[in-house]
Each structure stands twice: as structure tokens, then as C-alpha cells.
Amino acid sequence: MATLAVGSLLQNPRLSSPRGQKLLLNLKPLRSLDLDCSPHRKLLCSRGACFSNSNPCGKFYIVKASSTDTAPIDTFSSADILYEQTFPVNRIEKVEGKLLIRLDQSKDQLNWRLTIGCSLSGKWILHWGVSYVGDTGSEWDQPPQDMWPHGSIPIKDYAIETPFKKPSKDDTFHEVKIDFNPSSAIEAIHFILKDEETGASYQHKGRDFRVSLVNYLEDDGNMIHAKSSFGKWPDAVEQLPNMVLKAEASCDSKNENRRLEGFYEEQPIVKEVSVGNMVNVAIRKFPDAANIVLHLETDIPGDVVVHWGVCRDDAKTWEIPAVPYPPETTVFRNKALRTLLQPTGNGSRALFTLDEKLDGFLFVLKLDANSWVNFQGNDFYIPLSSARSVKGQSDSESEETSGKAHTDGIINEIRNLVSGLNSEKSLQTKVKEAKESILNEIEKLAAEAYSIFRSSTPSYPEEDSDADDAEPTINISSGTGSGFEILCQGFNWESNKSGRWYMELKEKASEISSLGFTVIWLPPPTESVSPEGYMPKDLYNLNSRYGTIDELKDLVKSLHGVGLKVLGDVVLNHRCAHYQNQNGVWNIFGGRLNWDDRAVVGDDPHFQGRGNKSSGDNFHAAPNIDHSQDFVRKDLIEWLCWLREEIGYDGWRLDFVRGFWGGYVKDYLDASEPYFAVGEYWDSLSYTYGEMDHNQDAHRQRIVDWINATNGTAGAFDVTSKGILHSALERCEYWRLSDQKGKPPGVVGWWPSRAVTFIENHDTGSTQGHWRFPGGKEMQGYAYILTHPGTPAVFYDHIVSHHRSEIGALISLRNRNKIHCRSIVEIVKAERDVYAATIDDRVAMKIGPGYYEPPSGPQRWSLALEGYDYKVWEASS
């Protein structure tokens, strides 16, 4: 299915779409074509929008280019439809609502009640916990069970989740009611709001909501508490009581005089919802006319601008065609045109008169200053040359191919390439070099339409013995390295504490290399407000808590000496400031990159930036950098290139890439030319009442969308696979490891060459433990990722633990059988207590307590490795 990215336009290097200042043209209007004259006219409708899908009869008026003030008009009674396609598009709309919080006394006059409501529709969940009088730190505690509303479920030992309920069936308002005893030792209730439909979480000023139940807590700007006046709850007219409570039991003297006040407060909440629309394009040719007419129509509401041009060859280079142009057209940087679509009853449309000798029509839709609609991350491309060869297509044929022509073409190309593999087998000329060349071509197509690639994964045919012995030649490409990479994370959350981590790691370089790793990921190298390095300050100061710049250079040299490529951990999303502005806000930077507040995004109120709106999610602990600024991108590109040359880094691990558009990442990687790059795109998976959903397509789609925005120049950590492995192993639900199409359910099932699989890292494990892998089941996780496609990453803590020898054996088996990032998986069993698969017909594996043995037959299997609830077999020659 075709997908569209909405937001900043994703660039395709082959489709250069220039944008810049406007120059108004003095144009004569093009008269409308009457497209509603046919009594047999078919309509394609979507959400109230209709598009013509027929051969209309009647009069059409075409304006030809002319040197006179009035363009001559030719009249024709009919026209042939040469091409028609309807594109389903999705765009994001922001819906505003309110979060309502009320504290008042219960009807029994003994307890109090906190009511939290939301005015927006959705599957809302309250994720909440409490803190007690005398607690230090920011951790939550699980509330006592007598506070749990009906339907609540525990989340480990620190929180519970409660579904919102509607007061009535037809109501869009949702609420949760929490009753509590005011004499308890609870100091505050903490919560965040989660929308299970989108996976989004909502906080208060970037932090958890905190409702104080005592009157002596210091207001840090994040507290919800009694105000001087009261509002009204929906459908309620009574004002809330205000009373002083004497605690019957207390933990300290503060609790003895605690004063509880009722209040009502509203907080704004904005939800992003996906809205489906259509774009219809039809090309018509009139008898004896030199030109063709392209009709473009959409049901997207509001003002829609078409940013367009034409091309004359397969390079798809944009250029401006000859006049005439539609009304409301302007020139953009002398390389493209912009036309405001004219409103219709159900949307808007425009007509374009084009020379039939042109090869193609290129366009994107501009909805506002920051919102663009394109096709699968690239510009829409309408082939005018192929349209000339399909005259006389019937209505039924047109309707059948509408919306599918582009994707079907890609599928056919992929199938032809796969057929090429089989035909080579018959000629006995097939070798791995040829296979890899074909697979690389398939992947290029997949980068344009990765959703098609999911269901069209080719399989390797059998090989003769001579081909087996030949080493495959794989082109090294940014994002994947050689395809055989195995990544070692070379630090944990505590590595900075010794102050000499670089030197300690240098001593382990040979040992890490001998285990079979090819790439090592080092910690952030810059001066940082936090000792771990993820709050960078002066980017050119590489004396950090891990060691000095000279020690870093020495470490990189040693790692190179034992054959390891080295990744630098670069934090591009945010940066800590050196100075305060006139308002006392920290948003002025020092050092070599002495930016002012123009470098800070303008939609984070914490840091008063003067930049544009953020192109991603804000990280509220530090100023978020505005990557749309030319000077910012220029400086960051220079810095990355300096790191490559000065330190010797071979590639990048990119921190918090949710915070800025992947198109900027593409710019940085194109300039710095890394051997390997991987981004951290980490957000929540989909759950229903605390239980993970089987279908995690929406989650992995967000990761794949980011990879696609980089034009495939970077991979991404496969957070989806990690989360599914958690549930499968914790709950003995190994059926989760196969999606609805019998493929791996994570990113590795859709785009394996860009999936970096892992089970633990410095955030999820180590001493932080934000999302720790199920204890005692780590080797099942490694048996999965080290035998499957993708690029596996192993956490440092596991290398230096009792798992070391088992991990080393799995790496050796992977290398011995030449498993790589594009290897082919066949899932043979995915049941309650066992998962089993074969990989490249060379390796068989199973995890889980259930039984599995590979079947005996022409291919003989021998047990190679065995551990707690996992086994791995190799095919015998």
C-alpha cells in the first residue's frame, strides 16, 4: 500500500525539488474544463471527496500559449484519457482538547476524590503512581490497592494503569476517579496520560503531572494544586469545597497540619490524528491538439498549493515548462512553480496544459509553512511518456489500476529481479556476486516503496558447491557497512565514573575483536553537563569524564589496529547553553559554536528560542536545536567531518532522533560519509490495558518512516523486536514472534538491512534499568538476534558477564555460516511455548521450553549450540 509522509518534505536525491523565494508571474487565467457533463460519469469517493474516473463528453476549453493579451480557445467535443491514478494520502491534523483535573470531597465526607478527565476521543489510559511523605528522589511508588479504580492493572512495582471511562455511551468525555483517605501518608499523586490508539504519552511541561495532597510542597512549576478560584466540571454546577483536614496518622510533623484544598484546573492537550484523503491525477488528450491536459484534484480541505515542475529524461531533474500556467501560479527560485488549487464543492483542483513531448510531471502539495504531502518520502511523479502509450484504456481497466499503478510497477520490477535469480540457476551461472547485485537493486526499489518490499521478499535458490565456497562481494553502503557487521556497545551507564574509561577499554580491544565483533560503539565524547555525556555543551571540547581527547585518539587507533570500526555517539538534538539571556533563560551558547537563541526551536516555552518550530518531539531537559537553520546545519556538518578526520570515527550512533526530521540526518550523513550509522528512535509500543498488542505494525512503521526520511542512509535500533521479545519470553507467548504474514514482527521483518537488533543497552539495562530484558532469558534473546538478519548489537555488560562464552559461540556460528543483514528467515514454528526458524537454509534455531527438532530429510542437521531454553543447528555438507 502506498504511504505518504506528512511534515517537512522528504528529499529524493534523484528528484531535486528546489524551493526558495517567490516571483509573481503576470499570467492569463486558464479557463476551467467542464468535467461534470457525462451522464455515465463514475466517481471515486473518499470521505466526501469525489474524483472523475470516466471519459467525459462535451466541450473543453484549452488555453494555448500566445503573445497576445487574450489566449485563443479551441473547442473539442471529446478527449481520450491517457492516464489516471488515485493516490490515498494520510496527513496529520492536530485536535485541541482539555485535560480536566478536579479534587474534591467524596459524598461520604470521609474520603477525598481526584477526578481526571479528557475531552478528546480516544482509548485513554492513566499511568500513575504516588509518593509518600518523607520520600526523596523522583521515583514513584505503586498506590495501595484500596485506591485502585476498577479495571486497574499493576505496572511492575512502581505504578498502575487505569482505563478512562465514559460517563455515558455516546459521550466523548472520558474520566478516571481516584478515591483516597486524606489521613494517609501519601504526599502527591503523579501521572501521565497515554493514548493507546496512537501510542502517544502526554506530560505536563515535559514532566509528569503532580497533584499535591499537602500544602507545604514547593511548587516547581510542574505542580497541579489549589488555585484562588474554581472552575466548573462538565455538566456540574456546584463549586468545590475548601476545608482543613487534621491527619489522624502521620509520618512527620508536616503531615499533622496538612491542609487539603479542593480545586479544579484545565490543561490544554493536543492530539495528532491521522486523516485520510485522496489525490487524483488524470491526463487527457484532445484530438488534433499539440498539448495534453493534466487534471489534479484533491479532497484535502483548505488552501492547497501544488509545488510542481516537469522533467525531460529519466534523471527526473526539475524544470519550469513553457506557458500557459493555471491561475494563481508563482515562480519559485526559477526552478519550479507553485499553483494555488481552486476550490470546488469537495476540495480543490487545477488544470495544467503540458507539452506532450515531456517525460514527466513532478509535484508535492504544500498545506502550510511546515506541512507537505509527498509520495512515500519522494515527490509525486506522473509519467507523461508512458501515458502516451496507453490511449483508449477502458473505464474498468482505469478503475482497476487506479491507486495501484505505481506500487504494482515496483512489485513487477522486484519480481523480475527475483526471476532473474531463478533463470541464472537454470544456466548454472549463478554466483553470490550476482545474487547480491540483484538484491541490492531490489533494496533500492524497497527504499522508495518499503511497504511493498515487506510482502515481496525474495528467497535464495539452492547453490552449487562451487558457489558456496566463493566469498560474496557486497557493496558497502552507508547504514549497513558490509552487511556482515556485528556491533558491540563499548560502555554502560557507569563507565564514566573511573575517569579513564578510554584506557580501560583499550586494554580490552583485542579481546573484543577476538569474539568476532566488527564495529564498536563508544560513549559521547564531548564536554557535558551530565557525566554520561548526553547533555553536551561545547561540542569541540573532547575532554570528558571518559578521558582526554588524546586518550580517545589512542583508543580509536588501537581499535582500528585490531580490525574494529568505531562509532561515535553524537547528540545532535539538543545542547546545553553557556549563558542566560536577558530573561534569565539558558539559551546562549559559547565555545567554537557560539550560537544565539536563533539556534533553539521556537515551540519549547522552557528555553524561549527564536528559531522555527521543532521538526520532531521536544526533549525538555535542554534547549532543542533548530536544524532548519542553515548556520546550524553548516556548523554540525563541519563538526562531524572534523570528528571523522581528527578522531578517526568510522560512523555514528545518533541519539534521540525522534527530536528532528530524518531529512536533516540525511544531510549530515551525506556530508560526513560514515561507514555505518544507526539512530535511536525509541517510543512506546501498543498496549491494551497493560497487555502488549500482537500487531505492532504502527510502532515499526514509525521507525521505518524515520529510516525512509534519511533516504536509507542510516539504520535504526529495532525497538519493536526488543519489546516483542520481552512479552514473548516473560509470558511464554512465543507466537508473538511471527506477524500476520509469517514474517519477523519487528523492523527486521520489513527492512532487515536497516534494522539494528538488540536486547539491552545503557538506558534499558545497566544501573538505569528503564526497560530491562527479562532476567535469566538473555541468551534466548541473543540466540534470536545473532541467528537472524539485521545487524545484531551486544551490550557491554553481557560481554563481561557469565554469558561471554555463549555469546562468543553464537557470533562464531553467525560468521561461520555467513549470516548477514539480508539473510532469509523462514519461520517454521511460532506457538505458545516455542519459536523455531531456519535462516538461509544453513542454520536452524529454536527458543522456548517447547519441543522442536529440524526435520530429517535431504538436508542433515547437526546440533551446534545448546543452552537454557535454546538450541541452534547447522546444516551438514
* pLDDT at residue number 201: 75
Mean pLDDT for each 10-residue chunk of the chain (877 residues)? 32 37 36 34 34 34 32 44 88 86 84 92 90 78 92 84 86 89 89 79 78 69 52 43 34 49 87 86 84 94 94 87 93 90 92 91 87 78 73 40 48 52 44 54 52 37 36 50 95 94 96 95 96 96 97 97 97 96 94 95 91 92 95 97 97 96 95 96 89 94 94 95 96 95 96 96 92 95 98 96 94 95 96 96 96 88 95 89
> Residue 286 falls within a domain, yes or no?
yes
Of 236, 256, 272, which marks where a domain is finished?
Answer: 272
pLDDT per position as a tens digit, 46-58:
333 333 333 333 3
Residue 219 falls inside a structural domain = yes
What is each CA distance from 210 to 140, 200, 631, 832, in whole angstroms?
11, 19, 39, 41
In-domain check, residue 619: yes
Greatest Cα pair distance in the chain: 96
Residue ending a domain, choose from 582, 610, 634? 634
Q: Does the annotation mark 139 as catalytic? A: no
Query: Do 500 and 622 have their domain in common?
Result: yes
Calculate the CA dihedral of residues 17, 22, 23, 25 and round it to 10 degrees.
70
Q: Catalytic residue among 379, 655, 667, 869, which? A: 655
Other beta carbons within 10 Å of 598:
15
CA distance 513 to 501: 18
- 678 occurs within a structural domain: no
Q: What is the spatial distance between Cα 539 and Cα 517, in angstroms, rounded to a whole number?
A: 29
Is residue 453 within 8 Å of 445, Cβ to Cβ?
A: yes
- Judge if 115 and 249 occupy the same domain: yes
Residue 388 and residue 414 in one domain = no
At 134, list the grid cell: 518523607
Residues 510 and 624 placed together within one structural domain of the fold: yes
CA angle 265, 268, 273 (to 5 degrees): 145
Question: Chain-centre distance of CA 695, in angstroms?
Answer: 16
Cα–Cα separations (whole angstroms), residue 624 to 656, 668, 706, 707, 769 = 11, 17, 18, 21, 26
Q: Does a structural domain hold residue 226?
A: yes
Q: Are residues 420 and 500 in the same domain?
A: no
- Given 251, 272, 293, the domain boundary residue is 272
Q: Are residues 46 and 117 both part of a single domain?
A: no
476-492 burial, b at 16+ Cβ within 10 Å, e below that, comes to ebbbbbbbbbbbbbbbb
C-beta separation of 177 from 166 below 8 A: no
Domain that holds residue 575: 487-634
Q: Are residues 538 and 607 in the same domain?
A: yes
443 and 457: one domain?
yes
Instruction: Specify whether 445 is located in the same domain as 359.
Output: no
Tell me if 519 is assigned to some domain: yes
Whether residue 32 is contained in a domain is answered as yes
CA–CA–CA angle 587, 589, 594 (5° rounding): 140
- Check if 319 is active-site: no
Examine the domain organization and report whether 255 and 385 are in the same domain.
no
The C-alpha cell at 192 is 501521565
Is 783 inside a domain boundary? no
In DSSP terms, which residues pair with 93 in a beta bridge? 273
Picking from 104, 84, 88, the residue whose alpha carbon sits closest to that of residue 42 is 84
CATH number of the CATH domain containing 520: 3.20.20.80
- 196 and 109 share one domain: yes
pTM beyond cutoff 0.95? no
Output the CA torsion 715→720→721→723 (10° steps). 140
Count structural domains, the chain. 4
680, 697, 733, 739: which one is catalytic? 680
Question: Are residue 552 and residue 625 in the same domain, yes or no?
Answer: yes
